[in-house]
Amino acid sequence: MVDVVPTLQALRPRDVSGRVAVVIDVLRATSTLVTALAAGAREVRPAATPREARVRYDRLAAARGGTEGLLLGGERMGLRIEGFDLGNSPLEYTPERVSGKTIFFTTTNGTRTLRRAAGTRTGGGGARRVLVAAFLNATAVAKEVLSAEGDVVLCCAGTRGGFSLEDILLAGFIAAHLERNAPFVFRDLARAAAALYRSMAGEDGRDLARAVAAADHARHLTALGFGDDIVLCATLDTTDIVPEYRRGRVVVP
C-alpha cells in the first residue's frame, strides 16, 4: 500500500505505525539534510525547537570538553536563528563547513515531521523505518522503498499547516516510480500525487524546476533572497544516499 499524508498536522500515529515512512520537506529541510550528509556530515540530530537544539548542543559540548566538531543549524521564519552557525539553506552545507560534523538542526516544519513520523512526539507507535527524501535523492529513495517491502507512507511536511505543492510533487515522483515497478495498492492521494507530478513536471521531469518555482513557499523564499535554493532543491538525483532517522539521529546507514 502506498499512501500520502499532505501535512505535518495531518500525520497521525496510525498513518505510519509499522510502515516505512518517507519524510519530505523539499523547501528546504529535507533538501538541506540530504545535502549536509552528502557533503560528509557525520550525523544530524533534529530538534523540535531552537532551545532544545541549543540545550543538546551545550550538553554534548560540555561532555566532550568543547564545541569542536559540533554545529547548530536551522531556521525560523526562513532565516538563520540568532547564535546558530548555519541557517536552512542547503548551499551553506558545504563539505568545508560540515564534513565530519555533528549538526543539531531545527526547522519550522521539517524536523517536527521527522520526529512525528518516528513516534518521538507521541512516545511510540512510530514508523518501522523513517527515510529522508528530497528531489536530490529521489530515485535512490524510491529504490530503497521498493527493496524495503511493505506499506509505505509519504509524509509531506507542508508549510504552516497547509499543503505545499513542492512536497506533493516529490511524493508524486516517488509514487510514480513505485507504480511502474511493483504492484502496490495506491490510496487516492498517492494516485493523485503521481498524476500531478506527470502533468506538472512531465514524465521526464523537464518542467520540474518551473513547477517548484511557482509554489507559494518558493515565491516566499525567493523574496527573502533564497532564489538559488529553489533551483538546487528542484534538481533531481544528484546523489544516491538515503539518510535514515534512527534513535534521534539522521545518518547515512
Name the one range near ligand MLT by CB under 6 A: 41-49, 103-111, 166-174, 242-250.
103-111
Cell numbers at 46, concatenated: 533534529
Residues numbered 148-207 forming contacts with ligand MLT, rule: CB under 6 A: 157
- Say whether 165 sits in a helix, a strand or coil: helix
Whichever of 74 and 126 has its CB closer to ligand MLT, that residue is: 74
Binding positions for ligand MLT, 205-234, rule CB under 6 A: 221
Count H helices and E strands in the chain, helices first: 11, 10
Q: How far is the CB of 195 from ligand MLT (least distance, A)?
A: 26
Q: Does 25 bind ligand MLT (CB under 6 A)?
A: yes
Task: Tell how far CA 131 is from the center of its chain.
Answer: 8
Q: Whole-angstrom Cα distance, residue 113 to residue 18? A: 16
Backbone angles phi, psi at 99, to 5 degrees: -55, 130
CB 231 to ligand MLT: min, Å: 14
Which 62-81 residues touch ligand MLT, going by CB under 6 A? 75, 78
* Residue 97 grid coordinates: 563547513
| Minimum distance from residue 186 beta carbon to ligand MLT (Å) | 27
Pairing mode, if any, of strands 152-156 and 79-80? unpaired
Residues that bind ligand MLT in the complex, under the rule CB under 6 A: 25, 27-29, 75, 78, 88, 107-110, 157, 221
